[in-house]
Structure 1
């Protein structure tokens, strides 16, 4: 065997040069390459949360309770397009998308229905995938908990609240970067004081990867976003060890099995070093990268959709072997529709079989020390650090976004992926290799065609029943707070308590903050 193939097969030399304590460490020890807990899943399983949200609050509440009955251990909430953009369901432009890609939430009344007959006390935790208007949905959740008599200090969960990756990849923004970052730091500050078990941000590489980035780009851009948030929070007067333990991350798990496992391990090591060396954190928990994983939507295929179950299983396994803290497994039908009950149950069962039947939970980081895994981990870290260094030289992530740097890098990678797939250099079974002419018909979820009409009717009823004079005062208070240095969470909570709509609150902010327009 020639030396090149030996290096490719065994990758021995890079591992032989390791300083075990500096590069790996035992599970639960700095730099946390092997995991943030000494016994990992032998002590506590990852949270199983299926991304759920469609139609009305009643529809999604029913799905939540269905999944709880089948063993889900945490909620993950998907919101519809109007909600994501801070618009009400009666908006002339966005309203036609009501309830189609997530649940429609206009006011606190919808949020009350969404969590009807659901206990928000531990051990349940709720994740909400919301960004530009995150402060509003968070305030609604707090108000619901308040009505249920749940102490905010007991609430567990996460809001995504990651606006930088919106500018980079997903493109669902409302306000310019500076006021958006102020909203985020206000939420972080509020959570430190009043909701200490809540994760006020989930710094997301998932959407960056789904836009077509490489694993190294996902890693580099996501952790540099994390650096940006830490810097802004410190500038806002927060002490790093007061808030850093409640930062969380969100990664994709894609097709390349060993690369994904190595990516997760590299992320932990990089973040530990960043927090220790760059920000001089002293609390071990500040250095521990906690992350949620979702299997790859980009890898799912409409052709032979049953094959998606196998794709998702391998990706879920990579996430578990990589040490994820929570996991969503995609359903087989997600290229065709939002998941049906049958499809989402299979996706949940995938996690449960890995957890309870495979024996994997009995070993901590079982691939640690593998020449291939450690070599890949090193290479991904080195490549990702180059991206971080480049963005530092540009003056930070916001400046890099304004110059279009991460966007260009992702576009280039997405093009290469598409080209390789089209030329069958990247194999997709059943699509460009072993294609079939047979068409498999599977059930699809149908959204109530009357959802828009029903949602607007409810919205109008709320507007008629509420104290509109008080709502007007609340909205004026939000604009005044936005123009001052006061924490913005308090006036938003008061507004949602009085059933101000998400669209009205966003307009109150927009009067002061303006609206973002992409420069590139």
Structure 2
């Protein structure tokens, strides 16, 4: 489908007339601003000087005292209309008037049965999409009975070792009826294989499944530091999942390219979106190089961003990255289908802003961060629990977090108008500044030889660590206020809140099930599936997904699969950055 957003001669003439009128307005406003500064402002500040505070956005961009029409983009098409290239104002023409964002509260702890119970609770409270958090052993491709897993099984997410775990995780849940997101990276393709296997066992149509696996391995080397294999074979796995889903799962998103973790590692808003776009460019180039047309897969790419504390910068950030992505896909990769240029994203409120002191303040922080995500046009949203500075959220905290989204959707009126802040002098100027910043960062990365070279040279890591250090220094000095921590601090006893308690017997139950599955499986089928998987892994042109699906159906475990593939792909050790 061709992009039909080109302007007609009548529109061009109208835009020329509008531009002349705008130029006249800008000249008039610029003169009035100078007069205002010379008269009212000078007289007022002589009597009552402004504070000596350095006014900057959350990412350090200078913030002027006041913004005027002179700060709007010269070309109206930079702002445009929702659902029309370059999608600054939203990927779809109706946005929330047609469909409210998906309310996708993340859950995961203990055994699959325990998380399944939490899923059912949240669905009963009105949640419209599932999001699964996995424990550290699962994230790292280790089995629950591995010595390295001791004490971590089910602690920070659900434990999944073998296919029966995935079956229990979604027991009684119609996977054709609800979207499922899985927060998993180095072992993502194995979890996807298990998900496919469950769907096939139930007789589902794979083309009707919706959701995403995070599967963004490059940001692991940049920020989160969870990997199994070196960069190149890890990229191959991401490529294989994208190609497989483009051929077999029409509604499924095979990668959720994540700025969230880049931000949580210490990056500012500018770095979050710039580094995410650099990583996106690397993935798209890799799949295109494998012979897949960009319009055959780009519509299924999805994104995951944080919604941080600076409300206006966050709204501008979402608009800027949406516009940059549209232009990059059309101009750099030749995308023709509008769906290939529409950036769709999930947002999560910022875990790094949550505090142990005065934890009830976290409800307010989360509500405002959720508002910025909605004003920025998010397609789905997770709101953090008030207790997440302590542990994974309790049922009560999750209910409050979900109600926060429901109040935004049903009581505030923010769903009635698309991009209600569009046209704001400040917001449009900030959107343009952030978009230019993405381009400047990508130019520097290209000069280094691309994303992989920049990772190997420690570029991303240094940029993030420098920003994180500066933020920590400003927070310690009080220059960056954090209510309850360095400002308005309570001197009395800390507030007591309900927190989640993990069943101490959960780990033993999980290990027992894993051993039982290993003992009961068909050993010949398991051995044949492993041989087939290794043969495919040695052939870089082959796709790993079909062999992995057969491996999990043969009840090979997560650790057995990754352990065997280490012998083919090797391991990776990062060069430390100081």
Please, what TM-score do these two structures have when normalized by structure 1?
Answer: 0.98
Q: 2:457 aligned with 1:403, yes or no?
A: yes
After superposition, the CA RMSD in angstroms is 1.4
- Residue equivalent to 1:168: 222
Q: 2:543 aligned with 1:487, yes or no?
A: yes
**Contact kept in structure 2, 1:14 and 1:375, CA below 8 Å:** no
Moved more, 321-330 or 469-478: 469-478
- The correspondence for 2:564, drawn from 508, 512, 515, is 508
Superposed CA offset, 1:342-381 (max 9, x none): 0000000000000011111000000000001001111111
- 2:526 and 2:556 map into 1 onto residues whose CA distance is 6
- 2:410 and 2:383 map into 1 onto residues whose CA distance is 16
**Contact kept in structure 1, 2:182 and 2:214, CA below 8 Å:** yes
- Residue equivalent to 1:348: 402
- What secondary structure is seen at the aligned counterpart in 2 of 1:294? strand
- What secondary structure is seen at the aligned counterpart in 2 of 1:361? coil
- 1:488 and 1:102 map into 2 onto residues whose CA distance is 26
- What secondary structure is seen at the aligned counterpart in 2 of 1:10? coil
Query: CA distance change for structure 1 residues 366 and 471 in 2, over 3 Å: closer, same or farther?
Result: same
- Residue equivalent to 1:255: 309
**Contact kept in structure 2, 1:82 and 1:95, CA below 8 Å:** no
**Contact kept in structure 1, 2:73 and 2:429, CA below 8 Å:** no
- 1:17 and 1:378 map into 2 onto residues whose CA distance is 7
- The correspondence for 1:424, drawn from 478, 488, 500, is 478
1:70-219 counterparts in 2 under 5 A?
A: 70-122=125-177, 124-219=178-273
- Residue equivalent to 2:360: 306
- What secondary structure is seen at the aligned counterpart in 2 of 1:518? coil
- Residue equivalent to 1:446: 501
- Deviation of 1:284 after TM superposition, in Å, equals 0.5
- The correspondence for 1:497, drawn from 553, 557, 561, is 553
- 1:196 and 1:182 map into 2 onto residues whose CA distance is 21
- What secondary structure is seen at the aligned counterpart in 2 of 1:97? coil
- Deviation of 1:17 after TM superposition, in Å, equals 4.5
- 1:14 and 1:231 map into 2 onto residues whose CA distance is 38
- 1:486 and 1:88 map into 2 onto residues whose CA distance is 26
Q: 2:74 aligned with 1:18, yes or no?
A: yes
- What secondary structure is seen at the aligned counterpart in 2 of 1:202? strand
- Deviation of 1:108 after TM superposition, in Å, equals 0.4
Superposed CA offset, 1:116-135 (max 9, x none): 0001013x100001111111
Would you identify which runs of 4 or more consecutive aligned residues in structure 1 move more than 4 Å? none
**Contact kept in structure 1, 2:73 and 2:428, CA below 8 Å:** no
- 1:491 and 1:364 map into 2 onto residues whose CA distance is 45
Give the unaligned 5+ runs of structure 1: none
- 1:289 and 1:200 map into 2 onto residues whose CA distance is 14
- Residue equivalent to 2:375: 321
Please, what TM-score do these two structures have when normalized by structure 2?
Answer: 0.88
- 1:274 and 1:455 map into 2 onto residues whose CA distance is 46
- 2:343 and 2:157 map into 1 onto residues whose CA distance is 29
1:333-412 counterparts in 2 under 5 A?
A: 333-412=387-466
What number of residue pairs does the alignment pair up?
518
Tell me which structure has the larger Cα radius of gyration: 2
- Residue equivalent to 1:2: 37
- 1:288 and 1:236 map into 2 onto residues whose CA distance is 23
- Deviation of 1:51 after TM superposition, in Å, equals 1.0
Give the unaligned 5+ runs of structure 2: 1-35, 43-62
- 1:201 and 1:463 map into 2 onto residues whose CA distance is 30
- 1:398 and 1:94 map into 2 onto residues whose CA distance is 30
- Deviation of 1:11 after TM superposition, in Å, equals 2.3
Query: CA distance change for structure 1 residues 14 and 127 in 2, over 3 Å: closer, same or farther?
Result: farther
- 2:70 and 2:306 map into 1 onto residues whose CA distance is 26
- 1:240 and 1:11 map into 2 onto residues whose CA distance is 40
**Contact kept in structure 1, 2:212 and 2:252, CA below 8 Å:** yes
- 1:315 and 1:324 map into 2 onto residues whose CA distance is 12
**Contact kept in structure 1, 2:97 and 2:417, CA below 8 Å:** yes
- Deviation of 1:13 after TM superposition, in Å, equals 5.1
- Deviation of 1:451 after TM superposition, in Å, equals 1.7
Superposed CA offset, 1:92-142 (max 9, x none): 0123210000000000010000000001013x1000011111110000001
- 1:254 and 1:239 map into 2 onto residues whose CA distance is 35
- 1:115 and 1:467 map into 2 onto residues whose CA distance is 24
- Deviation of 1:14 after TM superposition, in Å, equals 4.7
Superposed CA offset, 1:242-263 (max 9, x none): 0111111110000000000000
**Contact kept in structure 2, 1:479 and 1:511, CA below 8 Å:** no
Superposed CA offset, 1:257-299 (max 9, x none): 0000000000110001101111111011111101000000000
